[in-house]
A = this chain, B = another copy of it.
């Protein structure tokens, strides 16, 4: 199923949910539910707010560690305890009907059979609403929880990730869509000819298959990625259907957009089959001043220890404690962490001549994503511009605090986008793919048979 040519291109919206909100001090907000990170009802409420507003999906990041390098800082944030995303999204599938459910899971610390199975299972549970955000993980603290002595190199992680993806996609094609007959009379439960063994033998994995879950409603759960390095972009061009990305300026966003879309042809893919969704951190007020005041109130809740530690994490582990807080942001030695985020930080500091303190205050909310502080109209203006000028196909909304920030976006910005004809008023379909306008993958074995048949006819 693809978008019909006459239908107008529409903005896609994801709700990127995170404990009590994306602002590092969100949990201290007077209206925030400070214990929300482990309260199912909190997330059920958030998912339902997003679904009522017709968001395409809710989205969860993930990390398989507590980043406790700076314990005094960590102890002042709500980032150390939260649900595991796949268990949480499975539960949320029961209290929602249409919204997509996207979980981040790392290829570095999992086995492809387990991962393929869990996402297929969630896809069946939810009637075709699951999505996998493929990440390779970027922190040493995670590696140390998985019997590594050090974090694997960037290139090594991406090599594994590509093979991991191939295995997962292969397993999702284990069964043809119509393999299960379940014919009580004849006693035949499935058609043997529609079961396919994978027999993958690669550098990183040997996986025989088949998967013990029927092909799922979406065929394959939607594949999401977030890497912005060269290896990340190339993998995304080959495999991703949604890219979640961080940009500070429209120009940056446009460059990235053109770059990614131009890579698709070499993999035989259509530009509209990969949706690029930058993160947006919106602070909404009735007036510009009200929005600014709301933001300043949040910023005042940040302890300097927390701000500094945030920069260290963002830069992939660089220790900034030896530099003066009100001095310039130093040249970054290259580390093994997320390279794209290091580059992003440095560019921002240079462009605007920021001190270390300025920089941590700047990224405290949006973590390198675009911060938009304004009225519903001015925020809609900016989203419209980015969308129409090909900086984005949609946006991943990173609400500063929850649930308030998301409710405001749902009640004030979404109706404005709908009035402008830029965003749906009803879900188009039942599955995440249908709503995103992404094609349902034809099973590779069916495709091969069709091709053989075509050759035979010629």
Query: Once the chains bind, are A81 and B175 in contact (CB under 8 Å)?
Result: yes
Q: How far is the CB of A415 from chain B (nearest CB, A)?
A: 30
Given the complex of chains A and B, what is the CA–CA distance between A32 and B182 in angstroms? 11
A339 contacts the other chain (Cβ, under 8 Å)?
no
Contact flags A86-104 to B (C-beta < 8 A → 1, else 0): 1110110111000000000
A80 contacts the other chain (Cβ, under 8 Å)?
yes
Query: Once the chains bind, are A75 and B192 in contact (CB under 8 Å)?
Result: yes
Mark out the residues of chain A between 46 and 78 whose CB falls within 8 Å of any chain B CB in the assembled complex: 63-66, 68, 71-72, 75-78
A266 contacts the other chain (Cβ, under 8 Å)?
no
Query: Once the chains bind, are A147 and B90 in contact (CB under 8 Å)?
Result: no
Contacts A77-B189, A180-B35, A190-B75; A121 near B27 (Cβ below 8 A) = no
**Additional A-B contacts beyond A81-B190, A82-B212, A88-B125 (11; CB < 8 A):** A27-B184, A35-B182, A65-B212, A66-B210, A71-B192, A84-B118, A87-B125, A91-B125, A141-B208, A145-B209, A147-B207
Given the complex of chains A and B, what is the CA–CA distance between A25 and B182 in angstroms? 12
Query: Once the chains bind, are B208 and A144 in contact (CB under 8 Å)?
Result: yes
Q: List 16 A-B contacts (CB under 8 A).
A: A65-B208, A65-B212, A66-B212, A68-B195, A68-B197, A75-B192, A77-B189, A80-B190, A83-B121, A83-B125, A86-B90, A111-B147, A113-B145, A144-B208, A147-B207, A148-B206
A113 CB contacts on chain B under 8 angstroms: 64, 109, 145-146
Given the complex of chains A and B, what is the CA–CA distance between A87 and B204 in angstroms? 26
A265 contacts the other chain (Cβ, under 8 Å)?
no
A323 CB contacts on chain B under 8 angstroms: none
Q: How far is the CB of A121 from chain B (nearest CB, A)?
A: 4
- For A174, the closest partner residue in chain B by CB is B66
A110 contacts the other chain (Cβ, under 8 Å)?
yes
Query: Once the chains bind, are B212 and A63 in contact (CB under 8 Å)?
Result: yes
Mark out the residues of chain A between 20 and 34 whose CB falls within 8 Å of any chain B CB in the assembled complex: 25, 27-28, 30, 32, 34
Given the complex of chains A and B, what is the CA–CA distance between A172 and B213 in angstroms? 30
Given the complex of chains A and B, what is the CA–CA distance between A32 and B184 in angstroms? 10
Given the complex of chains A and B, what is the CA–CA distance between A191 and B91 in angstroms? 30
Query: Once the chains bind, are B78 and A189 in contact (CB under 8 Å)?
Result: yes
A182 CB contacts on chain B under 8 angstroms: 27, 34-35, 78
Contact flags A103-145 to B (C-beta < 8 A → 1, else 0): 0000001110110011011101100000000000000010011
Query: Once the chains bind, are A83 and B124 in contact (CB under 8 Å)?
Result: yes
Query: Once the chains bind, are A301 and B141 in contact (CB under 8 Å)?
Result: no
Chain A residues within CB distance 8 Å of chain B: 25, 27-28, 30, 32, 34-35, 38, 40, 63-66, 68, 71-72, 75-78, 80-84, 86-88, 90-91, 93-95, 109-111, 113-114, 117-118, 120-122, 124-125, 141, 144-149, 174-175, 180, 182, 184, 187-192, 195, 197, 204-214, 301, 303
Query: Once the chains bind, are B78 and A195 in contact (CB under 8 Å)?
Result: no
Given the complex of chains A and B, what is the CA–CA distance between A212 and B85 in angstroms? 12
Given the complex of chains A and B, what is the CA–CA distance between A209 and B142 in angstroms? 9
Tell me how many chains of this kind the complex includes.
2
Query: Once the chains bind, are A121 and B84 in contact (CB under 8 Å)?
Result: yes
- Prevailing SS type, chain A contact patch: loop
Query: Once the chains bind, are B149 and A206 in contact (CB under 8 Å)?
Result: yes
- For A93, the closest partner residue in chain B by CB is B91
The 10 tightest CB contacts between A and B, nearest first, are A90-B90, A84-B121, A144-B208, A34-B182, A94-B94, A87-B90, A81-B214, A87-B121, A113-B145, A147-B206
A187 CB contacts on chain B under 8 angstroms: 25, 28, 76, 301, 303
Query: Once the chains bind, are B147 and A75 in contact (CB under 8 Å)?
Result: no
- For A147, the closest partner residue in chain B by CB is B206
Given the complex of chains A and B, what is the CA–CA distance between A39 and B403 in angstroms? 32
Which residue of B38, B124, B184 is within 8 Å of A124 (Cβ)?
B38
- For A113, the closest partner residue in chain B by CB is B145
Q: How far is the CB of A19 from chain B (nearest CB, A)?
A: 10
Query: Once the chains bind, are A188 and B145 in contact (CB under 8 Å)?
Result: no
Query: Once the chains bind, are A76 and B188 in contact (CB under 8 Å)?
Result: yes
A207 CB contacts on chain B under 8 angstroms: 144-147
